Amino acid sequence: MVEKVITLENVSLVDFLGVENRNINELSSAFPKSKIISRGNEIRIQGSSPEIIRINQIVQSLVDHYHKFGKVTEESIKTYINEEQSESQKRLHADAEETLVFGTKGFAIKAKTPNQIKLVESVNANDLVFAIGPAGTGKTYISVAMAVRALKNKEVRKIIITRPAVEAGENLGFLPGDLKEKIDPYLRPIYDALEDMVPSEKLKYYQENRVIEIAPLAYMRGRTLHNAFILLDEAQNTTQMQIKMFLTRMGPNSKAIITGDMSQVDLPKRQKSGLAESTRILKDIKGIGMVHLSGEDVVRHKLVRQIIEAYDKNDAEKNKDE
């Protein structure tokens, strides 16, 4: 947590802060993740650096407003908050269309479709984001790129990527090798994405020093993950208890993305998907983003989109008949 102190000079505190600090309380309510404290002629802001910058800009605008009109009201506070939020949304959209990271072969990795852009915007604005959509929509790839960017920008100290080790019609016990060798095939898509974005020697160094961790979901139990960018992939294969366990691992200064495809649930028939339940329970919580991708976002071979559309049509017809 970062703290910034703003000293008010040549200002009537009652006219600026409002009776019983109502103006400051109004500002605080717009930024629930940060703490805004008024002591004498000082305003202390505690929170993340991006929010502190936003709050500081509003306070400076309010100081200018006071010197111009001699008073700050709750209505003027709301006006400046709305203006800043509008500008913030414009910045988020501009950021979402920029290059996330440069690949190991020099190509720019960026969001390519409207819903991928929404995903980037949602991750920029929220600490926890659900990205739900069919295969080939880039939800895992974009999520890994966001994690790598955060690490490169020193916004986090580590990346933790996990998946539930659920057999998709095959039995892990019959695969050769030790546990790691049995699990690695399930994590291969994540390795592929990382290898596109991080040079091989650096990726090896990161993994050896646990800067980048890739592990089955069961290994997350009992941990508190702070200063980390956490990605739970294939979350449709989590049980209700597993996803609750994962969600409660988040520590200070952490971001998490949960990706899943509800059309590819490999759990036993009587076992409900934890992803479906969690999106229903958490949909109205501020600070949690929900992004739904569709066949329009498929960036693989053009046939993949048509295949998804054909299966969706078939499923809709079957549900209609039932």
Q: Which of 85-89, 114-118, 132-136 has the lowest mean pLDDT?
A: 85-89
Helix 49-69 to helix 22-30 angle (10° resolution) is 140
CATH fold for domain 98-321: Rossmann fold (3.40.50)
In the chain, which segments carry CATH 3.40.50.300? Answer: 98-321
Whether 92 has a pLDDT exceeding 70, the answer reads no
Name residues whose C-beta falls within 8 Å of residue 55's C-beta, 6 or more positions apart in sequence. Answer: 27, 31, 34, 36, 45, 47
The model's pTM is 0.65
**Confidence grade of residue 166 (pLDDT, cut at 50, 70, 90):** low
Q: Which of 17-26, 139-148, 228-237 has the lowest mean pLDDT?
A: 17-26
Q: Give the pLDDT confidence of 205-243 residue by residue, as tens digits.
A: 999 999 999 888 888 888 888 999 999 999 999 989 999
Q: Give the pLDDT confidence of 148-161 residue by residue, as tens digits.
A: 999 998 999 999 99
C-alpha–C-alpha distance, residues 193 and 191, integer Å: 5
Tokens of 78: 């709301």
The domain over range 2-90 is classified in CATH as 3.40.50.620? no
C-alpha–C-alpha distance, residues 275 and 292, integer Å: 13
